[in-house]
Structure 1
Amino acid sequence: MSDHFFLAVPLPEPIALTLKQTSEQVAPYVRFKRWTDSRDFHLTLFFFGALDDAQRLTILNEIKRITEQFSPFSLTLSRVEGFGDPNRPRVLYASVKHSKTLMTIRERLGEPLGDHGIPIDHRTFHPHITLAKRWDEGMMHSQLQLENLMALSGTWKVTHVSLFKVCPGQLPQYQSVAEFPFLEK
C-alpha cells in the first residue's frame, strides 16, 4: 500500500486539550465507531492520497512558495457540529470561525497544485476539526441535539502548515513529514 498524505493546520496542545475535553463531555450522548485521538487533531486543507516522488516534490515546492507569501494568523474555535443527519451525523466536528486568510491560503495553494496534476477535491471547503466519525447505532440521545451544543472557545496563532503522512494502526496516526512556516512581515 502506498503512503497517503494531506496538508493541514496542526493544533497546539491547549487547543487539542480543549477538543479532547469536549469529546469526553459529548461521548456519553452519541455513538461513533471512531473517536479522534487528541494527538491527531488537525484542520485539513487538502487530502492528497497516494503520491509518487515527483508529485511529492511538486507539492513541497508549491506549498513552500505560497506559504512564504503569508504571515501568521489566528483561528478561533466556534462550536461542535455534524455532517449528515442531525440525529445520526456521519462526522462530529469542531468548526472554526470564518478566516479570510485561511480561505485565501487554501485557494492560492489549490490552483497551482491542480495545474500540476495533483488531485484536488473541488467540493466547497468547510474548515473543521474531526472529533469522531462513523455513526454506530441508534439515534442521538434526546438530551443532546447538535444545534444545542455549547459553543467552543479557544484561539490560536497559526504559524505554519504541515504535510502529514497517514500511518494506519499507529498512534499518533498522522505524522508530520514537512512544515511550511508563514513568514513574519
Structure 2
Amino acid sequence: MRLFIALNLPKKERSRIDRAARLLRERELPVRWAEVDDFHLTLKFLGDVRPPRRDPVEHVMEKVAAETGPFEVTMHGFGAFPTIRRPRVIWIGAVATPELRCLKQDIEWGLAEHGFERETRAFHPHVTLGRAEEDGGAGAFRGLDDVVAGIDLKATFTVRSLDLMRSRVTRTGSRYTVERSIKLTGPR
C-alpha cells in the first residue's frame, strides 16, 4: 500500500486556509483542487510499502514521537512548484522552524537505517492546495503571481502527533486515510 508520514492540520486551520484559497479557486484555473479534509503537510513519502516493512516505519515513528514534544507550525505564503507561471503544484508554505526541520531529519535518518532512501532535495514544508492539469495551455496561469501575492493568511497550529497516512489514487484524485496516529510525547 502507498504510505507517507504527515502532519494533519486541525479542522479550524484547514477551514481558514480553504477560505483564503477561494480567490485561487474562483479564477477557474486548470487545477484539480484538493479537498479541505485532505490538507496535510507531508514529511516523508514512502511509496508502496509491503506489510513486513510497515513495522519498522511505525517503530521509527514511535521513537521520534517519544523524543519530540508538541510544537507550533505557522502556515504562511502561497506559491507553486516548480514556478508560479508554469505550476504543477499550488501550495501554502509552512515556516521551516528548527523543530519542524529536526522532526523531518529524525524521520529521514531513522528510516534510512531500515533501507528507505533519504530525501536529498531541500525541505520546503507546504500543504498542497491543488495540482495543475496537464493540458492547461499557454498563459493559463497568467496573473497567478499577483493573486497569490494578494492573499494574506497566517495560520498557526500546534503539532501534537505524527500520522502514518495511506494514499489511494482514484480517477478524481488521491484519497487519504490515517492508518495510525502517534502522539508527540517528548520534552518541549
TM-score norm. by structure 2 comes to: 0.88
Tell me the distance in 1 between the aligned counterparts of 2:33 and 2:148: 20
1:22 aligns with 2:20: yes
Contact 1:31 1:138 in 2 (8 A): no
Please report the RMSD computed on the Cα atoms of aligned residues, expressed in angstroms. 2.1
Query: Structure 1 residues 102 and 144 mapped into 2: Cα distance closer, same or farther (>3 Å)?
Result: closer
The one of 88, 91, 97 equivalent to 1:90 is 88
- Describe the SS at the equivalent of 1:105: helix
Give the structure 2 partner of residue 40 of structure 1. 38
Give the structure 1 partner of residue 166 of structure 2. 165
Which amino acid counterpart does residue 168 of structure 1 have in structure 2? V
Which amino acid counterpart does residue 137 of structure 2 have in structure 1? E
Tell me the distance in 1 between the aligned counterparts of 2:97 and 2:67: 17
Give the structure 1 partner of residue 76 of structure 2. 78
Query: Structure 1 residues 118 and 184 mapped into 2: Cα distance closer, same or farther (>3 Å)?
Result: closer
1:88 Cα deviation after fit: 2.2
Tell me the distance in 1 between the aligned counterparts of 2:25 and 2:56: 41
1:119 Cα deviation after fit: 3.3
Tell me the distance in 2 between the aligned counterparts of 1:52 and 1:143: 41
Tell me the distance in 1 between the aligned counterparts of 2:156 and 2:145: 25
Which amino acid counterpart does residue 185 of structure 2 have in structure 1? L
The unaligned stretches of length 5 or more in structure 2 are none
> What are the within-5 Å matches in structure 2 for residues 11-160 of structure 1?
11-29=9-27, 31-135=29-133, 136-139=136-139, 140-142=141-143, 145=146, 148-160=149-161
Higher share of residues assigned strand: 2
**Percent of aligned pairs sharing the same letter:** 21
Please list the CA deviations of residues 112-143 of structure 1 after superposition, one character each: whole Å capped at 9, or x if unmatched.
21121123332111100000112423422437
| Runs of 4+ off more than 6 Å | none
Tell me the distance in 2 between the aligned counterparts of 1:109 and 1:49: 15
Which amino acid counterpart does residue 74 of structure 1 have in structure 2? E
1:154 Cα deviation after fit: 1.3
Which amino acid counterpart does residue 113 of structure 1 have in structure 2? L
Q: How many residues align?
A: 183
The unaligned stretches of length 5 or more in structure 1 are none
1:47 Cα deviation after fit: 0.4
1:67 Cα deviation after fit: 1.0
Contact 1:79 1:149 in 2 (8 A): no
1:144 Cα deviation after fit: 5.0
TM-score norm. by structure 1 comes to: 0.90
